[in-house]
With several copies, the nearest count.
Chain A
Amino acid sequence: MRDHAQPPPAWAGVEARAGFRITGLRLSAGGRALIDGIDLAVEGRGITVVMGPNGAGKSLLLKLMHGLIAPDEGQVLWAGEPAGEATRRRQALVFQKPVLLRRSVAQNIDFVLATRQRRDRTRRDALLREVGLAERAGQPARLLSGGEQQRLALARALATEPEVMFLDEPTASLDPASVQAIEEIVRAVSAEGMKIVFVTHDAGQARRLADDIVFLHRGRVAEHTPAERFMADPVSEPARAYLAGRLYL
């Protein structure tokens, strides 16, 4: 990770400063290239949907953009700053597998509110209502159902009022109504200016939410285009195959 103090490199243009500028990103483990050279510029606003087959590197890309893991090569700039503690503090990531504290549902929210010096019952209860967990407030979070856990994780992320929210398949195990509710929340916060990076396997959902779509394949960006374009006719063969359900890793 680079030293935060230093000024952003000269080439970082204004629009780049607003959003993410990813250059020459590489990450490998066990002799395998997991992220295999990614260059990407993502707007500072709107909803960017990331798609791609299992194992394409979507979750890793999110963690790299969030500055959770350091790449072997290349770098991620957000608002002109290298991804790291400083940028992370203003972002939130909802993991594909929610990590819930061994506490009650309410305490899971309180905990993050406290870390932001914003402990506040009413706000907490509002968040729980928003994701439909008000009745579960007192229950051990680990005993929630799969879908309930995902919703709690989302509420917890919202509690930090981030400028960027990374959502890794946040509706994978939600029922249709919850999916709609979450999508509405996402649209709402994005409308208020929060940047959303949203991973999904659901083409329909992508169509409903995405401003632009990043399609990953084998750790590379196969294509990055506006949503309509992508859905109409994806330029890359992998994307076409994926949508047709033909692409099998």
Chain B
Amino acid sequence: MQDFGAAFALAFELIASFDADLTEIVGLSLEVSLAATLIACAIGMPLGALLAIARFRGRGAVLVGVNALMGLPPVVVGLLVYLALSRAGPLGVFGLLYTPTAMIIAQLILITPIVIALSCQALEDLHREYAEQFRSLCLSRGQVVAALVRDGRMSLLTVGLAGFGRAIAEVGAVIIVGGNIDHLTRVMTTAIALETSKGDLAMALALGIVLLAIALGVNGLVLSARSVTRDAAHA
């Protein structure tokens, strides 16, 4: 299909020409998704570890809940945030709707459950290995969580990347709370959606290729950082 060729040509053109609008959009995409991912990890990884170690009645239910929330539809999250931030909404006074902050909030809600569920899984084995030793040492939950997150950081990297992937690729939520306003809240995915609705598939694909290039860059950086510190992991 000619679109493919056109798309690639266009993509490289865009990247090469270092188009101002594009860089602006790319910048915002990274800003929003990285912020959301970092916050989600800061919140979700300790919670995931806690879920991996805690043994309480209803733990099963919580696990099911968290896992189910991985299926939270972006559009719904978008709506909830919209209703909360809309000028008529409870938090309307802050006037956050149609700002990058609103987009970060939406993505945060979207990926935090993913980070929790995956962290819990990633740390379960390590916990099973350490548990008796830690109980013998009478460590507090906080101490156990800290130790697990530290020694399990290599596995947690993948978890973080999964969260980032979900965030950077997501469109349903950000387009509702961001509004895809040019020069203000337009990110890669919303731009792609726009080009698609204009029927400019080549441009949409080109942007998609650029987005993937970005994802590749971020993952490359993170994982190479990982392999460097690998040895220190004392696997």
B132 to chain A: which residues have CB within 8 Å?
Answer: 63, 68, 95, 99
* A111 adjacent to B136 (CB under 8 Å): no
Report the stretch among B137-145, B166-174, B193-201 that lies at the interface.
B137-145
- Asked if B133 is an interface residue, CB under 8 A from chain A, the answer is yes
Q: Are B235 and A88 in contact (CB under 8 A)?
A: no
Complex interface bits, A101-117 against B, C-beta within 8 A gives 1, otherwise 0 = 11110000001100100
- Chain A residues near B143 (CB-CB < 8 A): 115
Size bin of chain A's contact surface: 20 to 34
CA distance A101 to B139 in the complex (A): 14
User: Which residues of A, 71-89, contact B by the 8 Å Cβ criterion?
Assistant: 85, 88-89
Q: For residue B133, which residue of chain A has the nearest CB?
A: A99
B109-153 near A? 1/0 per residue, CB < 8 Å: 000000000000000000001101101111100010001000100
B151 engages A92 (CB within 8 Å):
no
For A143, list chain B residues within 8 Å (CB). Answer: 234
Q: Choose one: B135, B136, B138, B151; the contact of A101 (CB below 8 Å).
A: B151
| B25 → chain A closest CB, angstroms | 41
Main secondary structure of the interface of A (DSSP, over half): mixed
**Which B93-108 residues sit within 8 Å CB-CB of chain A?**
none
Give the B interface residue count (CB, 8 A): 15
A152 at the interface (CB under 8 A from B): no
Q: Which residues of B contact A88 (CB under 8 A)?
A: 135-136, 138
C-alpha gap A229/B139 in the complex (Å): 41
Q: Is A141 on the interface with B (CB-CB < 8 A)?
A: yes
A93: interface (CB < 8 Å): yes
Distance, CA A208 to CA B136, complexed state (A): 28
- Find the A residue at minimum CB distance from B234: A140
Say whether A66 faces chain B, with CB atoms less than 8 Å apart: yes
Interface string of A126-149 (1 = CB under 8 A from B): 000000000000001111000000
Q: Which residues of chain B are within 8 angstroms of A63 by Cβ–Cβ distance?
A: 132
Q: Does B233 sit within 8 A of A, measured CB to CB?
A: yes
B235 close to A142 (CB less than 8 A):
yes
On whether the beta carbons of B139 and A115 are closer than 8 Å, the reply is yes
A→B interface (CB under 8 Å): 63, 66, 68, 85, 88-89, 92-93, 95, 99, 101-104, 111-112, 115, 140-143, 160
| Top 4 A-B residue pairs of the complex, sorted by shortest distance between their CB atoms | A140-B234, A99-B133, A102-B234, A89-B138
- Chain B residues packing against A (C-beta within 8 Å): 129-130, 132-133, 135-139, 143, 147, 151, 233-235
Q: Can you sample 8 A-B contacts with CB below 8 Å?
A: A68-B132, A88-B135, A95-B133, A99-B129, A99-B130, A101-B130, A115-B139, A140-B234
Query: 14 other contacts beyond A101-B130, A104-B234, A142-B234, with CB at 8 A cut-off?
Result: A63-B132, A88-B135, A88-B136, A95-B132, A99-B132, A101-B151, A102-B151, A102-B234, A103-B234, A112-B137, A115-B139, A142-B235, A143-B234, A160-B137
